[in-house]
């Protein structure tokens, strides 16, 4: 479990990852528990549930590799390696932010609340280079037990001529993240969400990408509690009318 702090305007939010249950905290206007592992009823907390895919990292690396789709994952990873894609760890934070901002804007998504100084502290960050150019990247959060994929961004939407190369690079990034986490002694690789049901049909490509790596389908929970009612109203209003709140600077907890 770990905690970070983000600020928007004068509002302060504490974000806690990988806790089993929610609990009250002090010194903030809102607390959010991400990827909580247990379903619980806690006074004042809103609860939402979702599914994700989790790879058991206590398995041998060769076993994890063999459970991945031969055609959809393993071939793509080997092809990216043969084509000369190189993966860098914990570097190019500003370039990744620019890439991620552009990617999210292209897809009509709200800006990411993680900024470079937060990424540097709570990484790891993996970027894929081809001929010295960053074509894709993925940011993760991790504690001593779990690594979770937060955000992936690439030039696939603006570089259709290299879509296959970039798609293969994205899969190589996941594989390098799995090896990294395994080498650190972590026990779980969490894909950060996996849609099922009606929404799965809307995100079939993205979900199929994650499913190609294997993993078990599990349920995770998000808990949220506001200690300042005006903050709840501000988040609702700004989320509805343009998401301006998410565009302001954030900073990690000291």
Judged against a pLDDT cut of 90, whether residue 89 lies above it is answered with yes
**Rounded distance between C-alpha atoms, residue 210 and residue 191, angstroms:** 7
Q: How confident is the model at residue 149 (pLDDT cuts 50, 70, 90)?
A: very high
**Pairing of the two strands 86-89 and 188-190:** unpaired
Instruction: Count the helix, strand and coil residues of the chain and give each as a percent rounded to the nearest 5.
Output: 35, 30, 35
> What's the whole-number mean pLDDT along residues 79-107?
90
Name the more confident of 247 and 61: 61
Q: Which residue has the tokens 């932010």?
A: 97
The SS3 assignment for 2 reads: strand
Q: Which of 6-10, 61-65, 122-126, 139-143 has the highest mean pLDDT?
A: 61-65
Whole-number mean pLDDT of the chain? 86
Q: Exposed, middle or buried: residue 22 (CB in 10 Å: 0-12, 13-18, 19+)?
A: buried
Give which of 170, 86, 95 is closest to 136, Cα–Cα.
170
Q: Model confidence over 173-191: pLDDT tens digits?
A: 999 999 999 999 999 999 9
pLDDT value, residue 240: 56
Least confident of 140-144, 153-157, 235-239: 235-239
Give the length of the chain.
254
Of the listed ranges 55-64, 155-164, 178-187, 206-215, the least confidently predicted one is 155-164
């Amino acid at each position: 479990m770990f905690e970070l702090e983000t600020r928007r305007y004068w509002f302060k939010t504490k974000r806690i990852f990988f806790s089993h249950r929610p609990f009250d905290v002090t010194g903030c206007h809102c607390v959010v528990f991400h990827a909580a592992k247990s379903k619980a009823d806690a006074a004042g907390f809103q609860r939402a549930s979702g599914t994700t895919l989790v790879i058991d990292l206590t398995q041998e690396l060769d076993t994890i590799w063999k459970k991945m789709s031969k055609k959809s994952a393993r071939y793509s990873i080997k092809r990216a390696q043969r084509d000369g894609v190189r993966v860098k760890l914990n570097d190019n934070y500003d370039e990744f932010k620019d890439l991620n901002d552009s990617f999210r804007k292209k897809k009509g998504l709200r800006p990411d609340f993680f900024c470079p100084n937060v990424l540097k502290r709570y990484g790891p960050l993996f970027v894929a280079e081809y001929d010295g150019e960053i074509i894709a990247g993925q940011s993760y959060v991790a504690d001593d037990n779990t690594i979770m994929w937060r955000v992936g961004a690439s030039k696939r939407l603006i570089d259709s001529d290299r879509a296959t190369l970039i798609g293969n690079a994205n899969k190589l990034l996941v594989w390098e993240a799995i090896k990294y986490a395994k080498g650190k002694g972590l026990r779980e690789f969490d894909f950060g969400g996996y849609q099922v049901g009606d929404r799965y049909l809307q995100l079939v490509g993205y979900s199929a990408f994650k499913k190609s790596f294997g993993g078990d389908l599990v349920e995770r929970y998000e808990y949220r509690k506001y200690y300042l009612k005006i903050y709840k109203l501000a988040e609702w209003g700004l989320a509805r009318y343009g998401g301006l709140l998410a565009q302001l600077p954030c900073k990690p907890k000291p």
